[in-house]
Structure 1
Amino acid sequence: MTEPVIELSGVHRQFVDGPAALRDVSLTVQPGEAVAILGPSGSGKSTMLNMIAGLDRPDSGTVTVAGVRVDKLGEAGAAKYRRNKIGMIFQFFNLLDDLTVLDNILLPAEMMGVGRGEARKRANSLLETLGIAKHARAYPGRLSGGERQRVAVARALMNRPPLLLADEPTGALDSASGEEVKGLLRELHADGQTIVVVTHDESLAASFATRIVRFRDGQIASDTRVQNGSPEPVVAR
């Protein structure tokens, strides 16, 4: 049986003030799934994403991603984990404006010590695949929002991560650019990439996700798999 890419078990996170951000959350994501995490602000979805990314730790419970016990990692181990195991896409791109598109994409490989020739070959392949090869020598500030998000996706995929995480990837885009990103996520999933996206955007979830998980008050309120346009519960809750 194939091992899950993500396995959260009994995850609880309590901040100093207010209710628990996560309350006994358990979630399993299999290779090749495209999962949309939905919920209002304060529902716990972003806290869960931070747990998966190794940016926060649970007070109790376990977080395992691609065979790594993320909740046990120290700061250096978490940084290495993020380089090796996940790619991250952010709402505001997080590109370095003083580097060209190509150099932005090369950064993750350079941090891993990949040879320059091998890294350039991989970067050029991603530029072609994502339709932004003509912008390789341009600077991010000269690109449209949709093009900059494509650069961010290329950077996230540079080290061939088993998991791609996205936090509101269409939140800062106009409608046309948002549609570009929706199409890109569909293409990545069709190629077998495991994807988890946190979003408020119901249309984004409907456009690419094969599974929709809804959070409310720090817990999973519903977990459904979408097949032929019809939702089916993954786990009865």
Structure 2
Amino acid sequence: MTDLTDSPAMPGPPAPPLVDMRDVSRTYDADRAVLSELTLQVATGDALAVLGPSGSGKSTLLNLIAGLDRPSTGTVTVDGLRVDTMSETASARYRRSRIGMVHQFFHLLDDLTVRDNVLLPAQLAGVPRAEAADRATELLRYLGVARHASAHPGTLSGGERQRVAVARALMNRPPLLLADEPTGALDSASGADVRALLRELNADGQTVVLVTHDLALAEACATRTVELMDGRIARDESAVAR
């Protein structure tokens, strides 16, 4: 419908970042901080690739966002929730509802079918059976692995297993997808397949934060790249238009 008002609507205030880390440090011993006074915001719809050598703090950063670790100092807020102050019970509930996680080695249960692996997060969250079944069917079709619904993960290729892992991660419609070296255990063809998948997910609106050594992955699907060095941000660049 055409807007017939005399003046255009004024834009509202900018949306808060989906991830907001402020002055975060994480120290495991008295000698070295794994992260040091790091401040980082991630907007809804971003695909952020976190790069850096081993020991630079990449995995610690991901674990802090996921609520699997707590900062020594500073604050971590995700989707309006203070993750760093949550109890263990609240943190587990937060991961079930707000976070999807994809790992290097899939972490699928080989004694369950593909469909049952994907259904697990919904069952843990108490989603009604029929609703969960519809969502699993939708995801398996969207991710191109519907034909494997009754198969077991061990019969699939690495790329197919990672697609199943992504389906499981997206089961409860989390606003944030975290990926830890998602192409690290894959051959070149399967890695290219997962790169294309993550790019497509982000194009469809999914916010993604991934840590990786795979420069091709960052170049293919990231809208922004952060490089860590000794627990600090050494580089923060937005990607050219893809």
TM-score (normalised: structure 1): 0.95
Backbone CA RMSD of aligned residues = 0.8
What are the residue-to-residue correspondences of 1:117-128 with 2, within 5 Å? Answer: 117-128=130-141
Aligned partner of 1:75 in structure 2 is 88
How many positions carry a matched residue from both structures? Answer: 229
Q: Would you say 1:41 and 2:54 are equivalent positions? A: yes
Alpha-carbon distance between aligned partners in 1 of 2:241 and 2:106, rounded to the nearest angstrom: 32
Structure 1 residue runs of 4 or more that deviate by more than 4 Å after TM superposition = none
Cα deviation for residue 228 of structure 1 reads: 3.0
Aligned partner of 1:235 in structure 2 is none
Aligned partner of 1:102 in structure 2 is 115
Alpha-carbon distance between aligned partners in 1 of 2:241 and 2:161, rounded to the nearest angstrom: 32
Cα deviation for residue 19 of structure 1 reads: 1.4
Change (3 A) 1:100 1:17: farther
Q: What is the one-letter code of the residue matched to 1:88?
A: M
Q: What is the one-letter code of the residue matched to 2:74?
A: G
2:216 to 196, 203, 209: 203
Cα deviation for residue 224 of structure 1 reads: 0.5
Aligned partner of 1:217 in structure 2 is 230
Q: What is the one-letter code of the residue matched to 2:204?
A: D
Cα deviation for residue 45 of structure 1 reads: 1.1
Unaligned stretches of 5+ residues in structure 2: 1-13
Q: Would you say 1:89 and 2:106 are equivalent positions? A: no
1:10 to 23, 29, 36: 23
Q: What is the one-letter code of the residue matched to 1:203?
A: A
Unaligned stretches of 5+ residues in structure 1: 230-237
Aligned partner of 1:193 in structure 2 is 206
Alpha-carbon distance between aligned partners in 2 of 1:162 and 1:98, rounded to the nearest angstrom: 29
Cα deviation for residue 18 of structure 1 reads: 4.2
Q: What is the one-letter code of the residue matched to 2:121?
A: P
Alpha-carbon distance between aligned partners in 2 of 1:73 and 1:41, rounded to the nearest angstrom: 28
2:69 to 38, 48, 56: 56
Q: What is the one-letter code of the residue matched to 2:146?
A: A
2:182 to 145, 166, 169: 169
Larger Rg: 2
